[in-house]
Amino acid sequence: MSKQVSNVFDTILVLDFGSQYSHLITRRLREFNIYAEMLPCTQKISELGWKPAGVILSGGPYSVYAEDAPHVDHDVFKLNVPILGICYGMQELAWINGKQVHRGEKREYGPATLQVEDKDNDLFKGIDHSTVWMSHGDKLNGLPTGFKIIATSENSPYCGIKHETEQIYGIQFHPEVTHSTMGKQLLRNFAIDICQAETNWTMENFIETEVQRIRDLVGPTAEVIGAVSGGVDSTVASKLMTEAIGDRFHAILVDNGVLRQDEAANAKKALVDGLGINLSVIDASDEFLDNLKGVTDPEKKRKIIGHTFIHVFEREAEKIKPKDGSKIEFLLQGTLYPDVIESISFKGPSQTIKTHHNVGGLLDDMKLKLIEPLRELFKDEVRHLGELLGINHDLVWRHPFPGPGIAIRVLGEVTREQVAIARKADFIYIEEIRKAGLYNQIAQAFACLLPVKSVGVMGDQRTYDQVIALRAIETTDFMTADWFPFEHSFLKKVAARIVNEVDGVARVTYDITSKPPATVEWE
């Protein structure tokens, strides 16, 4: 699937040696409207199926001289395209060309000052003295055969090297991290000036090629089904399918009884009326809530919801009657590029591959083929695409919502009553956040219902009711997060509204834990 995109757009191939920054290289290049694709360093070049405009060898945790160190397929040099080695990538180039790599006396981690020695070199165009980010323990102990020095730093005499005659470059620092102040410029110089990659990776162009690709893949008669949640990914994926094959795409929204307030109705309105998607909404809330009866363990809740979902979805899919002579052959999945990266990135000799367990069952049981129109895209690209496809702004910029929904925000047993309390509190909280103009500053916000009772007093009456915990976080990548510093007056207002308007709540608290040590969701 991804091969196709790489055939249409000039592509920079990023070979991943396992650095935690590898995906950032891809990310940066795409910001220049250049398509970049990451593959594990073990990729056989002969099996690529497309020719890259240039290749970047990433950093990595290994030492090139170690016995089990990963190495690049030497056919990469036969491609005759520019190559840039970053950190481990440069050490790999040095290893191949004379084995000039050893353990340095000093590890170098953090900022260093780059001194450009070859000012006419294209790689450093517009860059002279600048701060670069180092993260290495090994270093070159000599110039690799056929190379020259183009940059130095105090601790790295081989901070930048280039092959005398070929367009092969190595740098010791990491241009992909923002701490390298001119790093973007360097990657831009490499991709645009040196590789001469065309800067045509735009979402406008993507829509055009993707719609065509979907038509070619599905063919003139086959039909496709997919689950939608009301979130941005599944909505964008469904809209693309609808653009490509119209009503031969069937979207199913399963109301599992733990969606947000008015969610099913709102999604129906947005998808059917707003976007013309062929959608069926299935109310299976009783079935889900019955299955969740008495269950308090979070992992069990997730499993039950997953299994029930597969069951309901299969049953509903059977009811869809495709047009004469046609058959449902594909299942749509809104997989994004970070999931793909997670499953392909190089993890060393014992490489682990994550499967998309949420659809695995459906594919096998229903004998369907997977179709994933977003698998090349990062989240912000999906959002941009959503806006181009005419999906409304609020939906496009919605906070993420977990698959098991409010079931993991009702701590303890999930009952209709408990869900109603959590849902109403959440609704008030989000409404106030929007009113205060804070929604887009917060990455995710929600209310949880805690299964503890607390004493209160309302209208001179003693109350003994439950506790709502509010959570709001700031983060860019959801790997780490901090709690959002609301004004006290805002919290005061929300707490008062929740206690006054939601029966069953006696107290409201605000969660002031970062991630780590806490996670974003409570369960």
Active site residues: 87, 174, 176
Q: Which is nearer to ligand GLN, 140 or 389 (CB)?
A: 140
Lookup result for tokens 């659809």: 359
Radius of gyration of the chain (CA): 26
The amino acid present at 370, given as its one-letter code, is: L
Q: Which is nearer to ligand GLN, 140 or 279 (CB)?
A: 140
Q: Which is nearer to ligand GLN, 63 or 235 (CB)?
A: 63
Q: Which residue is nearest to ligand GLN (CB)?
A: 59
Q: How far apart are CA 490 and CA 436, in angstroms?
A: 8
Lookup result for tokens 């030497």: 74
Q: How far apart are CA 74 and CA 194, in angstroms?
A: 21
Smallest separation, CB 85 to ligand GLN (Å): 10
Q: How far apart are CA 167 and CA 82, in angstroms?
A: 5
For the chain, the residue count is: 523
Q: How far apart are CA 378 and CA 339, in angstroms?
A: 10
CA 318 to chain centre: 32
Beta-carbon contacts of residue 324 (< 8 Å; ≥ 6 apart) = none
**Is residue 9 helix, strand or coil?**
coil
Q: Which residues bind ligand GLN (CB under 6 A)?
A: 19, 59-63, 87-88, 135-138
Q: Which is nearer to ligand GLN, 62 or 378 (CB)?
A: 62
Q: How far apart are CA 82 and CA 238, in angstroms?
A: 38
Lookup result for tokens 């730093």: 153
Smallest separation, CB 349 to ligand GLN (Å): 15
The amino acid present at 396, given as its one-letter code, is: V
- Could you tell me if 39 and 73 are in contact, meaning their C-beta atoms sit under 8 angstroms apart? no
